[in-house]
């Protein structure tokens, strides 16, 4: 019997790896860049529910970069560290939320949000 692409189970291992790379990014920032590149590469070939995770991961990277840049600018008025703390907590919450939905094989609800 011939298997088609739709007969094979969908693996979400790459999306899981990207979430892990984002968390490891606290120790080695380059893993964030590797993760976003992997998300860009895989987002078009994935099923619709998994594409929402890749889009969520891409937005997490770019919004996190924006929050960190704002924190850097605000260092000059002494509140930048608070913005960086918010960005770190924000990233952790987004990764945990995304991982939770990924484990259930659910699409990301509201993946275009700026917050959590």
pTM recorded for the entire structure: 0.87
Residue 2, domain member (yes or no): no
Which residues form the domain of 87? 13-103
Residue 111, domain member (yes or no): no
Residue 108, domain member (yes or no): no
Residue 93, domain member (yes or no): yes
pLDDT in tens, the chain (116 residues): 343 444 445 678 999 999 999 999 988 889 999 999 999 999 999 999 999 999 999 999 999 999 999 999 999 998 999 999 999 999 999 999 999 999 999 999 988 887 86
Whole-angstrom distance, CA of residue 65 vs CA of residue 46: 25
Residue 112, domain member (yes or no): no
Residue 36, domain member (yes or no): yes
Residue 110, domain member (yes or no): no
Domain count of the fold of the chain = 1
pLDDT in tens, 26-59: 888 899 999 999 999 999 999 999 999 999 999 9
Residue 1, domain member (yes or no): no
Strands (E), the chain: none
């Amino acid at each position: 019997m011939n298997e088609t692409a739709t007969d094979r189970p969908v693996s979400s291992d790459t999306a899981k790896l990207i979430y892990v790379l984002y968390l490891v990014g606290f120790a080695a920032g380059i893993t964030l860049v590797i993760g976003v590149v992997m998300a860009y590469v895989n987002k078009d070939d994935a099923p619709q529910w998994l594409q929402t995770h890749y889009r969520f991961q891409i937005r997490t990277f770019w919004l996190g970069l924006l929050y960190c840049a704002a924190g850097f600018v605000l260092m000059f008025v002494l509140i930048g560290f608070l913005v960086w703390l918010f960005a770190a907590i924000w990233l952790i919450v987004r990764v945990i939320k995304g991982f939770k939905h990924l484990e259930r094989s659910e699409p990301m609800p509201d993946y275009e949000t700026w917050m959590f």
